[in-house]
A and B are shown apart, each in its own frame.
Chain A
Amino acid sequence: MDLIKDMNKFMNPFGVLTIIFIAIFILIFFGFAQRKKFKVFGLVLTCIAIASAFFINIFGYFKNGGFSDNLFTSDFAQIVEISYVLIFSLVLYIIIFVYNSSSINFLKTNLIFLFSIICLVFVVISKNFLAFFSSFICYNISIFALVTSLNADATLLLKDEYKGKTSLEAQFKMSIITGRFFISSLLVTFFMFFGLSILYGVSNFKNFSQLGEVINSYGSDISLVIIIFLFMTYLYFSLFPFQAPYIDMIKKQTISSNYVVMLFYFFPGLILINKCSVIFYSLSPVNKSILLIGLPILIIVASFGSGATLFKTSSLRKTSSNFILLFFVGYILNLLIYLNDFIKEGDYRWLNYSILSLIIISWLPLSIIFSYLEKETGFDNIENLKLVSSKSKIVLVCLIASFLSLIGIPGFAGFSGRSTYFNLVYEIILEGLKGSHSSQNYLMLFIILLYLLTFIVSIIKLFLVIFSRKKIFDDADIESKFNFSRPFISLSFTFILLIFLVGIIYLLGYSNINIFNFNLANLKLF
């Protein structure tokens, strides 16, 4: 019994890490295996490890409560973030399996993938700057290894296709594209290093909470650090006009590597914004004003840049990659709304988590359909979307549901993320300049409307593409041979159910309606 009690204490927060370490340890013995049954074993083991880590993460918190020491902290916010990390990783792992299961390197990739989850969990729970920075760099290295190993399979395929010089040239070009993106990532890491060195001079910090206290009590001037932070955010999220390495890589690398970059690479940035938001809130007015000027500029320029790409592009990859950039812009928009005192801290956190949910529920079906179309037809062209309307009604409904969910139509899952923006727009229009925030109101109104409009315009464009009557392919063979597989249709159906279920539950809670004498608003989620 004592052993079980000790294990209970151990569960939070290191239970998650222990389980994934065990999975890595078992998989090391099968690292060079080529047979399919070992790959399936790897799949099952990884899925079980991630699922049980998810369970232990939540169970451990309810059993033992929070945890904090000099290096790490694990409170409610961290538990939610780790849960999101595990959900994202499960989705990503399944995608990697679907696209790369035939690869000879699959189990090695699997090991790197599990290691990257461990690094990401360390990033989430780290409280000390040393722990955070070290785990952040380790995570970047593991993502680099993951992306390059997934791309290596593509270059191997290219070798078979064009024997001789061409394959070397292809390999050379691929290495330049991937290297360019990760040099940019390296630059961001160096920026962070310099920013931390100045912070150390200002405040003799050791961890995030200490820094917050020092800034609160002494009102330290950290303007230069904030400017570096803004520039770093710009470079890290590859926002317009610094998106060239990101877009270049997204266009040319393998589909599974794209998902690694889009779902996993940017996650520590989101966590850093979450960690820093409370510190930013308690800044002195002079320092805060730099953020309040810098963030709107960042949001407006990035929304315009990504919106223009979404409106003009004919590439499926660019469409889905720019949509996810817009989600990150939404994360920054939430920070701005919070700093302007429009919402409280609790609402701000839920708003951020709703964006992460939106990525899984609304963006993922859209992106998966895009990838499927590209893989089956062999063309990365937006005109492929017309095939959806003619070949499968269920996939079409799934696509339309995810589009409407992205806009935030009530009844769809996306409304949970967008309702706060709609409320803010409504309040600002009602209050006008009379409200407590005076001139900030109109700036906020403009920014929120621009952000929402970017989504609406790009989705209208996609609707027009789907339902236009223009001929798709000159070669009729591609159109006649193309068909959606049964598992894919079932997956689309699951996504439809998910989008409607989450949407309706949220709508009932939002409008205070009782079901079986139970009010969903009491769940404190709304």
Chain B
Amino acid sequence: MNITYIYYLSSLLFLIGVIGALFFETFSRILISLQFIMLASIINFLSFSQTLYENPVWAVLFVLFSTLLLFLFESAIVFYFYLNVSEAKFGKFDLNKNLYYFNIKDWLE
């Protein structure tokens, strides 16, 4: 497969992830959107290392360490929510607004 198509695919996944993270209001949906960005990055790393460069070990190591740590960060936040929110509410946990919801009252007062 041509590298350009892979690049288009990863860019598309990235855009879906960014739009989802910025506009969804539910916690789980935002996290899934973030997974799209991660998927796009991993596709980029592995495809570039296979097609463009001879020694792909560094990219694989980078992906391995980064994904592990990113999942650690993510799971830390999820676990924090789980501890503070009762189990009944955890399933439908909601931010009630966008991640960067802009309110003039909050801005100026």
Contact = CB atoms under 8 A, between A and B. Distances in A.
Interface stretch (A88-96, A103-111, A241-249, A493-501): A241-249
Contact of A193 (B59, B66, B96, B103): B66
6 contacts: A137-B73, A141-B73, A179-B77, A197-B45, A200-B44, A201-B52
A186 B52 contact: no
A308 B107 contact: yes
A176 B95 contact: yes
The listed residue with most B CB atoms (<10 A of its CB), out of A148, A176, A194, A242, is: A194
Nearest to A136: B69
Interface stretch (A311-319, A451-459, A480-488): A311-319
B109 A313 contact: yes
Interface of A: 129-130, 133-134, 137-138, 140-141, 144-145, 148, 155, 168, 171-172, 174-176, 178-180, 182-184, 186-187, 189-191, 193-194, 196-198, 200-201, 204, 206, 240-245, 247-248, 305, 308-309, 312-315
Given A134-B65, A198-B44, A308 B108 contact: yes
A134 B63 CA distance: 11
Contact of A174 (B10, B84, B96): B84
Contacts of A175: 80-81, 84-85
Interface of B is mostly: helix
A329 to B, nearest CB: 16
B73 A130 contact: no
Contacts of B30: 183
A109 B42 CA distance: 35
B102 A130 contact: no
A292 B4 CA distance: 29
B103 A244 contact: yes
Contacts of A240: 107
Interface string B93-109: 00110011111001111
Interface of B: 7, 10, 14, 17, 21, 27, 30-31, 34, 37-38, 40-42, 44-45, 48-49, 52-53, 58-59, 61-62, 65-66, 69-70, 72-74, 76-77, 80-81, 84-86, 89, 95-96, 99-103, 106-109
A315 B109 contact: yes
A308 B108 CA distance: 7
B100 A191 contact: no
Nearest to A155: B84
Contacts of B21: 187, 190
Contacts of A174: 84
A36 to B, nearest CB: 28
Contacts of A138: 69
A206 B62 CA distance: 10
A367 to B, nearest CB: 20
Nearest to A201: B48
A228 to B, nearest CB: 9
A168 B84 CA distance: 8
A184 B100 CA distance: 8
A143 to B, nearest CB: 11
A244 B77 contact: no
Contacts of A191: 37
Nearest to A315: B109
